[in-house]
Amino acid sequence: MVVALGATACGGSGGGGAGTDKAASGAGFPVKVADCKGSLTFSSAPRKIVTSNAAALEMLLRLGAGDRVIGTGFPPGKGTLPGALDGAAQKVPVLGKSVIPKEKLLGSGADLYVDTFASMNGMQGAGDAPTEEEYTAAGIKHLHLTSTACAPTAGKAQDDLSGVENDIRRLGAVTGTGKRADALVAGMRAKVGAVRKAVGDVAPGKRPTYFFFDYDAGTKQPVAVCRTQVANAVIRQAGARNVFDGCDGDFKPVSWEDVVAKNPDWIQLGVRNRGSAAANAKAFDEAAAFLKNFPATKDLAAVRNGKFLRIGSERTTIAGVGNADTVEEIAHTVHADRFKAARK
């Protein structure tokens, strides 16, 4: 999505400035942004923001607009975000441990709600989402993260991180932190660009196959990340092939027979942050032990040979700056020889 700015600023998805980092003075406004549901115009930066989950919250914290976030749903677990971001995130009031109740959201006093789940219809019945008329009546502008709220129904695979980059720039534009947004995107592009330089010439058919095992989603029936999910872009940019990139939407329940038939070269142990390094290590061990002992998977070559990646779920499947870090980590693991050669 291209960010359309007012006459006093300019920008877009290609690298220009998006805002002026002077929200308090009103410089750079009015700002007009578009998402998959329409467009919104901001005459000034919002001062009270509610986020639907940790993805938008982290973006705003990194942009330096975290002091304007007055509440969130799906709060990040302790230790999920790196460094000082974690402490700041833990101070944000929790309006809902999952989907924010409709009445609480509309009565929050927010002037902006950043929605990650719009296309999921209230997280498939987990919440009663307000109508657009109700948002308007409450004085709340309703902005969507297109890389997550819109992508599942867009019918187009997420093959790169441009959707995530545009979400960061869009939030930078409306909060008056466009320069910081540009810097965040530049950092992501530098990391992904270095990976592309090292592995970009590997033919698609020769790229290692990759299965994201969402251990926390349950082991009775695995859940695949499909072609419109952010993780598909992460895996692809790392020079690997998501074994379930042919399925539509973002997530889809599959069978263990499907996983065995794909016979992935590498398996990511997708574990959500448990709050400490020791607890995370234990969870990764449990996920690996399950695959090693489960009759359907114990004989897979990747399992026998320990071709596991211990990378947290959040920075793989949730849109954010950390996606670029995951691209790096996957690439350095599945293409280790290429990076060793580059260092010589």
**Amino acid at position 96, single letter:** G
Q: Domains in the chain and their CATH numbers?
A: 31-144 (3.40.50.1980), 186-341 (3.40.50.1980)
CA distances from 256 to 136, 235, 262, 295, 296 (A): 46, 21, 10, 10, 7
- Per the prediction, the chain carries an average pLDDT of 89
pLDDT of 269: 98
List Cβ<8 Å contacts ≥24 apart for 22-26.
22/176, 23/65, 23/175, 23/176, 23/177, 24/176
d(CA 175, CA 9): 13
pLDDT in tens, 53-63: 999 999 999 99
pLDDT of 121: 46
pLDDT of 1: 41
pLDDT in tens, 110-165: 999 999 886 444 444 445 789 999 999 999 999 999 998 888 777 789 999 999 99
pLDDT of 36: 86
Q: What is the mean pLDDT of each run of 10 residues along the chain (344 residues)?
A: 36 33 63 92 97 95 97 92 92 95 96 81 57 96 92 84 96 97 98 96 95 96 95 97 94 97 98 92 98 98 98 94 97 93 62
pLDDT in tens, 330-341: 999 999 999 876
What pTM was estimated for this model as a whole?
0.89
CB contact at 8 A, 238 and 332:
no
